[in-house]
Amino acid sequence: MGIFSLDPDQLAGCRELRDLARRHLAPLAEQGGPGRVNRPLVAELGRLGLLERLFTAGALDLCLMRESLAQVCTEAETALALQGLGAHPVHAYGTGAQRDRWLPAVRTGRAVAAFALSEPGAGSDAAALGLRADAEAPRAEKWLLSGEKTWISNAPEADFYTVFARTGEPGSRAGGVTAFLVPADRPGLTGTPLDMLSPHPIGTLAFDGVPVTADDVLGEPGGGFRVAMNTLNLFRPSVGAFAVGMAQAALDATLAHTARRQAFGGPLKDLQTVAHQVADMAVRVESARLMVYAAAAAYDEGADGVPGRAAMAKLLATETAQHVVDAAVQLHGARALRRGHLLEHLYREVRAPRIYEGASEVQRAVIARETYKEAAR
C-alpha cells in the first residue's frame, strides 16, 4: 500500500459534510436532551442521505464521514455511528427478510439500532459473555434469552438490538456465541438509562426469558463472535476518525484563541512555549489521521493484518485526541471549563472512545498478538 492522500473529490466531500453539519445537524443537536436518543437528528441524517451511505461506504469513506461530522457536531457523528454499528450486522449477516424489515427504516432514520455486546462481567473480554440463550427443546431452533447487557449505546430507546448471547457451554468462549436480531418490543426485554459523563444515550438491558428463533439469528448459530469482531474491525478505525475530528476541532479552536489572546505584550502564539505546544498538537493530529486512513484503506483493499492496523489506529487516535483536547483546555484557561464551551463539551466527549469498542489496553494486546504473528511468518 502506497503513501496515502485524499484526492480533490474526497476533500470537497469532507467540506460539504462539515457545511451540512453546521447548517442542518448542529441546530437539531442543540435541541436534544443529554442521554436521550435525538430522533429528529437521526431523521435528518436519513433525509440528507448520510445513513444510506453507511451501507454503501467503504471503511475509508466511513472514516471521512465520521471525522468531518465530529469537527462540527459530535452529536450528529455519534448518532450516525451508532446506527451503523447496530445495523451493520444485519446488513452483512442478516437474511433477506431481516434486511427488508429493518434496513429501509434505518436508512431513513425511522428506526434506531443498537449493538448489544458488553455485559457487567464481559466488557473487554468479549468472549466471556454470560447472557444465556437456552434452547426450549433439543434442535428446536428456539431459545430464551436470560441475563443482562450494560453500557449499550442507544439503550433502552432503540427499536432493535443486535444481541450476542451464549448458545454453547459456558467454557466454549468464542465458539459458543450466537448473534440475534431482537426487536425492542419482545416480551421480557426491559431497559434502564444510565447517567454518564458523555452526553449520548447509554443504558442497560435486562432479558427475562426473551424468546428468539432461528429467524432471528444473524449469521450462523455459534458464529456470533465472528459477527462481532468483523463489525468491530470495520468500525475501530472510524472510532479513530471520530477522535481525530474532535482533536482537529480542539486544535482549530486553539489556533484561533492563541492568535487573538493578548498576554505578556503580544498574542499567545508568539510565546515559544505556546507555539511549540501547538506544533506538537498538530503533529499528533496529523499522525493519527494518517494511521486511521491507512487502516481504513487496508480494510477496503482486503490487505493482511487488518485487526492489528485497526487496533493501532484506534489506540493512537483516541489517546492523541485525549492529549490534544487536554492541551487545548490548558491553553484556553478557565474559560474552557465553563459549561457550554466547545472544549468543555469535547473534554467530556473525548474520554469514552478510549474505553468503548475495545479499551486502549485491549488494543495493545491485539497489536502485540498481531505483531508476534507477523514476526513468526
pLDDT in tens, 55-98: 998 999 999 999 999 999 999 999 999 999 999 999 999 999 99
- For residue 44 the three cell numbers come to 435528518
Averaged pLDDT for residues 254-275: 95
Averaged pLDDT for residues 171-198: 89
Output the pLDDT for position 69.
Answer: 98
Residue 177: strand pairing partners: 166, 223
Output the pLDDT for position 2.
Answer: 44
For residue 170, name the pLDDT band (cuts at 50, 70, 90).
low
Strand 177-183 relative to strand 160-166, pairing: antiparallel
Residue 174 has pLDDT above 80, yes or no: no
Residue that wins the pLDDT comparison between 190 and 125? 190
Residue 171 has pLDDT above 90, yes or no: no
Residue 163 has pLDDT above 90, yes or no: yes
Output the pLDDT for position 8.
Answer: 92
Distances from the Cα of 277 to the Cαs of 165, 190, 213, 291, 335, in angstroms?
47, 49, 57, 21, 19
CATH 1.20.140.10 placement within the chain:
226-376
> What would the CATH number be for the domain defined by 8-107?
1.10.540.10
Q: Taking a C-beta distance cutoff of 8 angstroms, is the pair 72, 18 a contact? A: yes
CATH class given for the domain over 226-376: mainly alpha
Residues 6 or more apart whose Cβ sits within 8 Å of residue 9: none
**Helical H segments across the chain, by residue range:** 8-20, 26-31, 39-47, 50-53, 59-72, 74-93, 96-107, 224-260, 272-301, 306-332, 342-349, 360-376
Taking the C-alpha atoms of residue 278 and residue 42, their distance in angstroms, rounded to an integer, is: 35
- State percent of the chain over pLDDT 70: 95
Q: Taking a C-beta distance cutoff of 8 angstroms, is the pair 337, 293 a contact? A: no
CATH 1.10.540.10 placement within the chain:
8-107
Residue that wins the pLDDT comparison between 136 and 315? 315
Measured in residues, the chain has a length of: 377
Across 128-137, 143-152, 352-361, the highest mean pLDDT is recorded for 143-152
Distances from the Cα of 363 to the Cαs of 175, 233, 290, 375, in angstroms?
21, 11, 18, 18
- What is the sign of the dihedral through the CA atoms of 336, 338, 341 and 344? positive
Averaged pLDDT for residues 100-107: 97
Chain-wide mean pLDDT for the chain?
A: 93
For residue 168, name the pLDDT band (cuts at 50, 70, 90).
confident
Tens digit of each residue's pLDDT (9 = 90 or more) over 321-371: 999 999 999 999 999 999 999 999 999 999 999 998 889 999 999 999 999
CATH 2.40.110.10 placement within the chain:
113-221
Residue 99 has pLDDT above 80, yes or no: yes
CA 318 to chain centroid: 11
Which sequence positions are flagged as catalytic? 357
Q: Taking a C-beta distance cutoff of 8 angstroms, is the pair 89, 231 a contact? A: yes
Fold classified for 113-221: Butyryl-CoA Dehydrogenase, subunit A; domain 2 (2.40.110)
